[in-house]
Structure 1
Amino acid sequence: MRGLLPHPLLSAGLFVMWMLMQRTVMPGPALVGAAVALLGGWALAVLQPGRTRLGRPGAALRLLGNVAADVIRSNLGVAQVILLRRKDRRAGFIRIRLALRDPQALAILAVILTATPGTAWVEYEEEEGWLLLHVLDLIDEEAWVRIVKDRYEAPLMEMFQ
């Protein structure tokens, strides 16, 4: 059974999402949904992601709180920049050296930085650990480095090491 459904929860979730998006229980969409679910499970099995064991649930909760607060604050900041057409806004790129090396932790960091309005993960140089980040309203580079390192990287390192 494991060969047919290597990731049964993922496949079930894909099937349910497909059926919800189709808004019908007709056999045609259900058959396509089953195919999508099987292919999704097989694709993840081919990628063979490493098993991750998260430690420190307190760090995860702290990170979640930081991200939620920063997303709200960034939404307000971006709205202010756009609606008020501030002239003092200065977009730019900053380079940040990361100590984080775990691929799953880096993926989470990329999602956090890209999901936070006003920032975008542009590039990561794996050998040296340099992150290139684009910031819409870059007033203080050091403040952004501290945000990434203290609010995001530190809890991720606690969780993944």
Structure 2
Amino acid sequence: MLGLSMDNFASSKQPTEIQGLAPKAEAAWTALQRQYASRISDAEIDHLFACFVLGLTSPAYAEGEPALHFDVCRALVAVKLPPERVHAALHTMPEPTQPWLASACALIESQGAKIGSALQEKASNLEDLSTARANAATGSLGKNEENAT
């Protein structure tokens, strides 16, 4: 929509890790639109989306610098929303038009966190596999050198 690139955050995290978050955020936006567009206000949908993004990014960023975590959240929300709606979604909770919205925020954030944790685990497993392969290759080279002497 706005064409924001996630490359801005490549220096702080691996680009593939960051880029892996954007499709999940976009899918969540689509699901929220499909599920709630006729039932709640745009501001409420925007806030639910921000809750999802907060959960999605928390496994990777919550323990780090808060400003970086917030910047990542802002960038992901901005993929789907214009600047004024990004600010509102991240800084205000709209007056609920439905009684179930308060619990929906927590549930949606929790779902985002589950997805974020799964992405973190997948990234960690890939990193472990790469390290194991590199160690195996290094070990093979060492053994070949020993055999040559």
Same-fold call, TM cutoff 0.5: no
More helix by share: 2
Q: Which has the higher contact order (CA 8 A, sep 6+)?
A: 2
Instruction: Please indicate the TM-score interval, normalised by the length of the shorter structure.
Output: 0.3 to 0.5
TM-score with structure 1 setting the length: 0.35
